[in-house]
Structure 1
């Protein structure tokens, strides 16, 4: 089609009035000149198409190489968050570019139509998935203090590498997604990295002016008006008629003059450094010392493995074999590790076999849905950005394995399982996490478990069903402890005091998975049925 239009255009330009060519030989000879121009036009068209096809071949070769490598061990390949992000980007941004190229001819359009007809068999990520993957990388970057340049080189913690480095386009897309999320802090980080990568690239993967536009505005939103003005001037050198840049420049000049008028001699670019490092703009007036931020710093520190118990606390901890009255504990005492006292938190080692793990995963996967949280005001379940995972619930009648596991929990804890919730199975994906929360319902959540009729969640029993290469710890910010996933182990603690009040020290979180995949299953045990197994305190103020 493109060739036909090229020839039509050429004929319109060179052909004189009808019947004026064949009547004289001098005019006929000029047709050779016309034919020569036509040949050169077609040659140029072929060269341009061959260059496009050559680029497409190279891109396809790279995709095949990566795909073959990933197919050898998909779980290991996608355990690296950079690899996972690049896969989502290939199937969204890069695929869109490829579609645009293929629609230039009818054969390509036909192939795309055939591919579309397979929509039910294939799974395509959308813009929300791309944004989620980018935000997950930002979360990992913040929590684990990952350097932007190192990430762009495909490095995580120095010794874990992605299959390739990020291009300027990859960095630009991370910045663009941060911008779309209103996160100007990470936008400036990744747009600056995109500039660095752009300068190093021989074959440019992104437009220089596009980087400057995003970077200038986010720099302004970070409070640095002078730098935003400088970047905008650079953009206008590239594109003098850029309307948004012209409007922004006038706005930045006005803002800068206003700042200078308010406080002569003051450096208006001074910013609350700690607030900026956490991604807040100066206009938010963030108090980085309030309770939420203190908890946040503790949470992130523990996720990085930087927490340490005081010696006088650590020396009271011990390990032992737990015996008991049940056949299960008589035949096989449980290896028990006390990791904290008051509240008591235990780790039980080797209480879930590999075959049981495999069965539970197989049963849970088909019914996986995005994990939800309960809105304490409405009581409704809803998705939330602070809990990123997928989960499903398994009933005892679903499998003998589930029944056996439920009975085992009862044997170890000595609590009644009849009023416990079903076994919840969860899988954390790219940057999957669950920020600090309580498992029990607080006083204002009066109707949280009303529909169950079994009272509050008295205890939590949490199985770890996978090892995690990096990250993914369960942390207790107010106790300064971190529990690291170990396949086959389980954590256990009481959420309530004997008087029924919630123990605020059990507030905990699931750290983002840095590298690997995290599988857990948990059993929330309720108050009803435990009256003679864990009696209520006679004194309402009693905490022990």
Structure 2
């Protein structure tokens, strides 16, 4: 089977009965806002189910007291809902939310709820995509009390703008979890237990646990299918193994009548495990290891997945991947590997390189900072990347968030918003102009003072872009410049349209603020500069996107690591080239 024929693979997955039913829309990850709405809908369902159980208990006690359990007429027989299924649905919700969701929960602004956790978001998406429709449709319409529950849920769906019974929502979160698993070298068995903690040096994952797992075997297999679709065969093999182990745990707690179904599922996982392992080794045989995403360096038939996974926590030998190409406009496998390692906290700079980096207080040549100099930390000297500490006050941060919240929309990239965009960037974005509020103007004034550049809207800079990243929110490695000089003057024929679209020139520099402390994950990393930045509330990072000549600096490739826990708020000020002629003049040739 060819590793480059995923369509044939999907037909095989469908043939063995694995739930592939996640269409093209499932390629998108769920944002924190969408996840919050799903959580609110699930909370509404559970509220209705609790009320239904109370009503049923009161009815049972009343009938026992009256001694007449057959009180319903033949025309309208009372048919009880399977109360055990309802209790299981409520019990799982309690386990998933762990007390974070109150009776009056509504989405929007709650950064600590389980909707900001990709593991729990996946469970909630599966519950709404499969479990609730099965529970809803299992009851008869003559049960008027149950019909009241269903109608209340339908009203909540309309109010929140989301609906249960959509399989694609689970597919989106499966993709997010797959990305987290790969970038941070997480262990599928840890994830099944609800712990997204990275695999540390010498740590071994527990394959069995007496605790109730957070993810079901079907959840784990769904992530494996997503990994297969992305040709991440090594990672897929781990998910299928975890799914098989989880099914064994679940089978021990199920009735004997479910044994046949459990055996079928395990045979399916054995087949998929064999297929993913074979495809992994076949790819290595044909192409060798060049840092492909989701592929281990050695064949799984020779060195076990666990052995290779544990060795992956050590600093990488990038020399095996060939020389770096800092002038490449596209992302290379070496860039992807370095990106993942930096996201995990690995350090690539040599002691000599680090010894040349300084921390200092600096007025930046601005009277604005004379009485309170900025705290500057050098992260890289070439290309120059600077971190500024405590440049925004808590009040400014909260005001910017409050202004942005009503305007947040699904983020698009420079190539537009389409079915593949969220695979590139998963966040919600709002744009705030200087005339929006005095706080926005003060933020722009701070950027101007710290950089010495003209950043006024439509004069020297763009409007302030505010981004909210939720569960597994990320931005793959990219450049901030649009390549105006390159596309306009070096391409044949020249791209004059690019110049027309950017009359103020390309983005000469980026100034990015961190507006909250991320619970875990969410670093900004520069694979070619070999440095990473931890998000710290009130701090900022600055870098030049263009060389002094005005040419694109491809070494500024950077990306946002996926958020493991919590949410991430950032805001960007992009500064244009032409208005800085006398502030950053071209070098004398």
Q: TM-score, normalised by structure 1?
A: 0.73
- Change in Cα spacing, 1:444 to 1:215, as seen in structure 2 (3 Å) is farther
- The alignment status of 1:413 with 2:413, answered yes or no, reads no
Aligned equivalents of 2:283, 2:397: Cα separation in 1: 55
- The alignment status of 1:127 with 2:167, answered yes or no, reads yes
Give the C-alpha shift of residue 324 in structure 1: 4.5
Of 237, 250, 271, which residue of structure 2 is paired with 1:216?
271
- The alignment status of 1:469 with 2:536, answered yes or no, reads no
Aligned equivalents of 1:101, 1:449: Cα separation in 2: 61
Aligned equivalents of 1:270, 1:68: Cα separation in 2: 43
Residue number in structure 1 paired with 2:399: 359
Q: Secondary structure at the match of 2:399?
A: helix
Structure 1 segments unaligned to the other structure (5+ residues): 1-38, 40-48, 226-266, 283-287, 540-544
- Change in Cα spacing, 1:179 to 1:94, as seen in structure 2 (3 Å) is farther
Q: Secondary structure at the match of 2:377?
A: strand
Contact 1:473 1:510 in 2 (8 A): yes
Aligned equivalents of 2:97, 2:539: Cα separation in 1: 34
- Change in Cα spacing, 1:520 to 1:195, as seen in structure 2 (3 Å) is same
Aligned equivalents of 1:54, 1:428: Cα separation in 2: 38
Of 375, 390, 397, which residue of structure 2 is paired with 1:335?
375
Residue number in structure 1 paired with 2:76: none
- Change in Cα spacing, 1:275 to 1:132, as seen in structure 2 (3 Å) is farther
Aligned counterparts, 1:433-444, within 5 A: 433-442=474-483, 443-444=486-487
Name which of structure 1's ranges 356-365 and 449-458 shifts more when overlaid on structure 2. 449-458
Name which of structure 1's ranges 525-534 and 153-162 shifts more when overlaid on structure 2. 153-162
- Change in Cα spacing, 1:325 to 1:311, as seen in structure 2 (3 Å) is closer
- Change in Cα spacing, 1:65 to 1:150, as seen in structure 2 (3 Å) is closer
- The alignment status of 1:168 with 2:217, answered yes or no, reads yes
Contact 1:275 1:281 in 2 (8 A): no
Aligned equivalents of 1:307, 1:179: Cα separation in 2: 31
- Change in Cα spacing, 1:180 to 1:207, as seen in structure 2 (3 Å) is farther
Residue number in structure 1 paired with 2:112: 76
Of 463, 468, 478, which residue of structure 2 is paired with 1:427?
468
Aligned equivalents of 2:381, 2:506: Cα separation in 1: 22
Give the C-alpha shift of residue 365 in structure 1: 1.6
Q: TM-score, normalised by structure 2?
A: 0.68
- RMSD between aligned residues: 3.5
Aligned equivalents of 1:103, 1:75: Cα separation in 2: 39
Q: Secondary structure at the match of 1:155?
A: coil
User: What is the count of residue pairs matched by the alignment?
Assistant: 444
Aligned equivalents of 1:336, 1:386: Cα separation in 2: 31
- Change in Cα spacing, 1:210 to 1:105, as seen in structure 2 (3 Å) is farther
Aligned equivalents of 1:314, 1:270: Cα separation in 2: 36
Give the C-alpha shift of residue 117 in structure 1: 3.3
Aligned counterparts, 1:388-407, within 5 A: 388-407=426-445
Per-residue displacement from partner, 1:402-434 (whole Å, max 9, x unpaired)? 011001100111101132000000111121111
Bigger relative contact order (CA 8 A; separation at least 6): 2
Residue number in structure 1 paired with 2:86: 56
Aligned equivalents of 1:185, 1:127: Cα separation in 2: 25
Aligned equivalents of 1:311, 1:178: Cα separation in 2: 37
Aligned equivalents of 1:484, 1:281: Cα separation in 2: 27
- Change in Cα spacing, 1:170 to 1:458, as seen in structure 2 (3 Å) is same
Residue number in structure 2 paired with 1:386: 424
Give the C-alpha shift of residue 483 in structure 1: 0.8
Residue number in structure 2 paired with 1:86: 123
Name which of structure 1's ranges 172-181 and 381-390 shifts more when overlaid on structure 2. 172-181
Q: Secondary structure at the match of 1:124?
A: coil
- Change in Cα spacing, 1:356 to 1:127, as seen in structure 2 (3 Å) is farther
Contact 1:187 1:215 in 2 (8 A): no
Aligned counterparts, 1:273-352, within 5 A: 278-279=293-294, 289=321, 292-352=332-392
Aligned counterparts, 1:206-285, within 5 A: 207-210=262-265, 212-213=267-268, 216-217=271-272, 219-220=274-275, 222-223=277-278, 278-279=293-294
Per-residue displacement from partner, 1:380-421 (whole Å, max 9, x unpaired)? 555241211111110111111001100110011110113200
Give the C-alpha shift of residue 75 in structure 1: 2.8
Of 178, 185, 188, which residue of structure 2 is paired with 1:145?
185
- Change in Cα spacing, 1:136 to 1:268, as seen in structure 2 (3 Å) is closer
- Change in Cα spacing, 1:448 to 1:211, as seen in structure 2 (3 Å) is farther
- Change in Cα spacing, 1:222 to 1:341, as seen in structure 2 (3 Å) is same
Contact 2:516 2:569 in 1 (8 A): yes
Per-residue displacement from partner, 1:246-274 (whole Å, max 9, x unpaired)? xxxxxxxxxxxxxxxxxxxxx98996785
The structure number with the bigger radius of gyration is 1
Aligned equivalents of 1:268, 1:308: Cα separation in 2: 32
Q: Secondary structure at the match of 1:157?
A: coil
Of 491, 508, 511, which residue of structure 1 is paired with 2:541?
491
Residue number in structure 2 paired with 1:4: none
